Structures are given as C-alpha cells and as structure tokens.
C-alpha cells in the first residue's frame, strides 16, 4: 500500500492517501503524485472577459478572438515563497502581455449583497444568520435596495469554529451563484441567489421601485392631470403628495386640503408616515388611508378624486370623498388603472447582486513579483489590470489591493475553500512584459499560452 503524501496547497497541510482527495476536495493523491482536480479555466470565443491592458487597447471589452487565462483551477502559491502557478505570455496587437494567475487563500474576504426590494428586511446593523450562526450584518438602505455585508475575517476566524465554518460555506455558495437562506435578527427570512429575485418570508419579489414617493410624483405627474385631483405615493422613506409637490404646482394642481401623518420635509415630501414593514411601499400598512389625517374642510370638497399608489405600482387604490369628506373606495377610471400599470412597467426586475470582496495580501503578491509593494503601485498607476475569474475587478483606493467583483461575470464554480476556514478565489494580474520585468516579476517562470493549453484546461 502506497504511503500518504502531504499537500502544501494551504495551511491545513493534509496527509492524503492514494486515490483520495484532501479536505478541500481540490487536490488528490494519484499514484503518489499530488494532482489538482479542478482544471485550469480559459475564457474563449466571446465570453465577457476583461481585456489585456495593452498600450493600443481599442476599448473592445469582450475581445472574443483571443483566450483569457483565468486563475480558476490554477492552484495556490502557499506557503508563499513560490511564484504564481501560471505566468502566461501572449502577444496582443504587437504588445507582449503577461497574465499572472493564482488562486488566493482569502481569510480576509467577504461579499457585499444588494437586494432590490422596498420590503423591510431588518434594522440596520442587525446580524444576518445562517443556521443560527452570525455571518454578517445589514448595512445601509440605498435607492430601492437593501445592502448586506457578509463574511470578513471576524466571522471567519474571530468567532467559534462553527461560526467560521458556516460563514465559509455561505460565502462559497453565494459566490458560486447558489441559493442561501438567511435569517435577519428582528427581521425577515431571505433566500439570496445571485442574479435571481430575493425570496422574502416565502414570497419572491417582482419589482424594484421606480423611485421614492417624491421622485414617482415627479415622473408621472402629467399622467394624472384631468383624471384625479390628488395622488399620494406611499413610501417608507419619502412619501409624495401631488398637490403640494413642485411638479403639481407647475402643472397647476389646486390645493386639496389633504393632511398627512409623518414629518413634513420640503413641500410634497413626507418622512416616517408609517413604520417600516412588508406592506405598501416598504411600510407596515395594509390600509393606505391610515396615513391620512382628516382633510381640511375649508379646502377639500365632496367628490374629490384620490389615488393612493406604492412606488412599484403593485399596490394602488382609488377613492372619492363623500359628503363628510371621508375617502370612500370607488370604481377606478381606466386611465387611473393605466397610470398604476405605467409605474409598474417602469420598474426594473428585483434581483440579488453578489460582489466578492477580498484583499490581496503580501503573500499573494509575492507570487507575482519579488517586490510585492511594486505590484500595488502598478495597479494604482493602472499599468496592471486586476480581474477575478475573468470578471472586471474594482480596486478600492488606499493601501493594498482590495478588489471587488461581480460573481455573475465569472464561469461557474469559480470559488473553492480550504477548511482553515478560508475562501479560495481566482485572481489575475495582466500587464505588459516590459512592466512585469520592471516589477521584479518571476521572468524565468513565464510560459507561452500555447504551452498552457492542454487536456487539463477547461475552455468556456
């Protein structure tokens, strides 16, 4: 029986028996030889990969006529003194370009999740949990979206062993575009999957709001003239009132005597008309009339026509004031119903977006160059292009190489893990050979693209 061999691809340092794989399921013992199970992935023939940063780049983002070597399946540089697994040369428009690819072991990483919804999912700073373990928190509410910050070194390594394992599993699933069910403290249960609508408390979302209540008034004010006397667009953040709004004034909409709950901001804009929730416009109400105070009898009149609508057009109601100036539900004219449909038609589909975010530390950069800080400067000077599995990378300002990328721009199953716990993520650095030499790059490890392409390469 053959002896076990030791894998040095990550800090776990597994001893692997013949025919078995290590804890990560990415390396195995094949007849006494350590082999990589994941094939190196090359993007080719029109896939949406980012371009090499050649001096004569013409702005073509796809460049489907040439292959792009990703770091998916490339292997790691652990224990850090080793050069990157693949340093590939390819001539583009007469410029000799080099792409350095490696799979980074990211203990310092996480994901930022954008959830397109008006629904209240939980208070800001609330823990996001998977299987009862905290893996992140709710961040700010942005324009029509809720934001989550998940992962990071504190959850991966700073808590219990179970917390780290659950966090790592959730991050890998999210980055590989798989669904993850999350529970937010004092909030909703959400199923998040990149590129798919969020499922909130068992209900899939359909639409992302067209704008806040005030913006909706401004966009659609002209469609309501001659059909209604007053419009209220219900919104958890900024509820709009047509007759008071500047758009209504410029269209000569007369005062109606309407009075609103909440805190008045500028004319036609109200904050805090109700509590956050999963009802109309992200509030906790099912009855829109509950945010109205009695109409001013000196201004309002019987028969006044009132439309109340949400920021997605999914909720709406038509009312007319009776002799006591109380709103009563009434059959809606076709034009009023059409206006609600117009709002819905102008809403984009509700989706979940997942952006991987990680810091390329000194050890990873050492696989690119003998002088790691020079790589950072080259990236900041835009001489070196950073990509993640072929997807466009946004590099944050400041120190180090903190990169963020949309997981939907990467081939399937681009991410792995090691049970330290840490995420294994592909990262590529592309620059001219001349600039690579100036960095103190591993010149003796450069190979031509033709040498890389072979039976262990996956073409996507």
Contacts of 390 by beta carbon, 8 Å cutoff, 6+ apart: 43, 47, 48, 49, 50, 68, 70, 409, 410, 411, 426, 428
**Whether residue 26 has pLDDT greater than 80:** no
**Whether residue 57 has pLDDT greater than 70:** no
- Cα distance between residue 272 and residue 235, in whole Å: 9
Tokens 């819905």 appear where?
A: 344
How far is the CA of 55 from the CAs of 52, 59, 68, 107, 273, in angstroms?
Answer: 9, 11, 17, 35, 56
Taking only the tens place, the pLDDT of each residue in 175-203 is: 999 999 999 999 999 999 999 999 999 99
Pairing of strands 40-43, 457-459: parallel
At 355, the pLDDT band (50, 70, 90 cuts) reads very high
**Whether residue 66 has pLDDT greater than 70:** no
The average pLDDT across 93-100 equals 85
At 103, the pLDDT band (50, 70, 90 cuts) reads confident
**Whether residue 373 has pLDDT greater than 80:** yes
**Whether residue 10 has pLDDT greater than 80:** no
Residue predicted with more confidence, 254 or 104: 254
Over 431-455, what HEC string results? Answer: EEHHHHHHCCECHHHEEEHHHHCCC
The pTM is what?
A: 0.86
Share of the chain above pLDDT 90, in %: 67
Residue predicted with more confidence, 23 or 51: 23
Whose CA is closest to 87, among 456, 443, 454, 458? Answer: 443
Token reading at 423: 């995420």
Token reading at 198: 């969020």
Q: What angle do CA 78, 80, 85 make, to 5 degrees?
A: 65
- Cα distance between residue 454 and residue 39, in whole Å: 10
How far is the CA of 27 from the CAs of 64, 106, 165, 386, in angstroms?
Answer: 31, 18, 20, 26
**Mean pLDDT rounded to a whole number for the chain:** 89
What number of other Cβ atoms are within 10 A of residue 23's Cβ?
15
């Amino acid at each position: 029986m053959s002896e076990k061999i030791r894998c040095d691809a990550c800090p776990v340092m597994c001893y692997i028996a013949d025919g078995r794989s290590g804890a990560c399921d990415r390396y195995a013992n094949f007849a006494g030889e350590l082999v990589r199970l994941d094939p190196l992935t090359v993007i080719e023939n029109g896939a949406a990969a980012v371009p090499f940063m050649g001096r004569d780049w013409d702005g073509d983002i796809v460049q489907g006529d040439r292959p792009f070597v990703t770091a998916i399946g490339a292997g790691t540089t652990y224990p850090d003194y080793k050069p990157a697994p693949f340093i590939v040369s390819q001539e583009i428009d007469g410029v000799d370009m080099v792409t350095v690819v490696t799979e980074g072991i990211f203990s310092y990483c996480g994901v930022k999740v954008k959830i397109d919804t008006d629904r209240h999912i939980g208070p800001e700073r609330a823990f996001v949990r998977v299987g009862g373990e905290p893996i992140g928190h709710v961040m700010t509410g942005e324009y029509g979206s809720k934001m989550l910050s998940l992962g990071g070194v504190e959850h991966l390594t700073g808590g219990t062993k179970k917390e780290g394992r659950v966090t790592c599993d959730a991050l890998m699933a999210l980055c590989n575009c798989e669904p993850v069910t999350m529970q937010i403290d004092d909030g909703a249960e959400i199923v998040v999957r990149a590129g798919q609508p969020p499922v909130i408390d068992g209900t899939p979302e359909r639409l992302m709001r067209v704008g806040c209540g005030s913006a909706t008034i401004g966009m659609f004010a002209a469609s309501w003239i001659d059909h209604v006397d007053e419009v209220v667009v219900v919104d958890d953040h900024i509820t709009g009132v047509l007759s008071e709004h500047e758009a209504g004034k410029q269209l000569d909409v007369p005062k109606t005597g309407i009075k609103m709950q909440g805190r008045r901001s500028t004319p036609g804009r109200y904050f805090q008309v109700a509590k956050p929730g999963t009802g109309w416009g992200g509030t906790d109400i099912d009855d829109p009339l509950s945010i109205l105070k009695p109409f001013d009898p000196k201004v309002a009149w019987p028969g006044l026509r009132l439309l109340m609508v949400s920021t997605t057009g999914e909720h709406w109601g038509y009312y007319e004031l009776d002799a006591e100036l109380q709103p009563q539900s009434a059959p809606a004219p076709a034009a009023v119903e059409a206006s609600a449909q117009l709002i819905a038609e102008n809403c984009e589909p509700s989706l979940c977006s997942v952006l991987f975010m990680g810091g390329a530390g000194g050890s990873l950069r050492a696989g690119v160059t003998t002088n790691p800080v020079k790589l950072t400067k080259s990236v900041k000077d835009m001489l070196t292009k950073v990509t993640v599995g072929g997807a466009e990378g946004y590099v944050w300002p400041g120190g180090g190489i903190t990169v963020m990328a949309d997981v939907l721009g990467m081939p399937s199953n681009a991410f792995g893990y090691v049970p330290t716990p840490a995420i294994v993520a592909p990262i590529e650095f592309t620059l001219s050979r001349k600039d690579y030499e100036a960095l103190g790059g591993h010149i003796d490890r450069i190979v031509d693209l033709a040498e890389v392409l072979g039976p262990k390469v996956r073409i996507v």
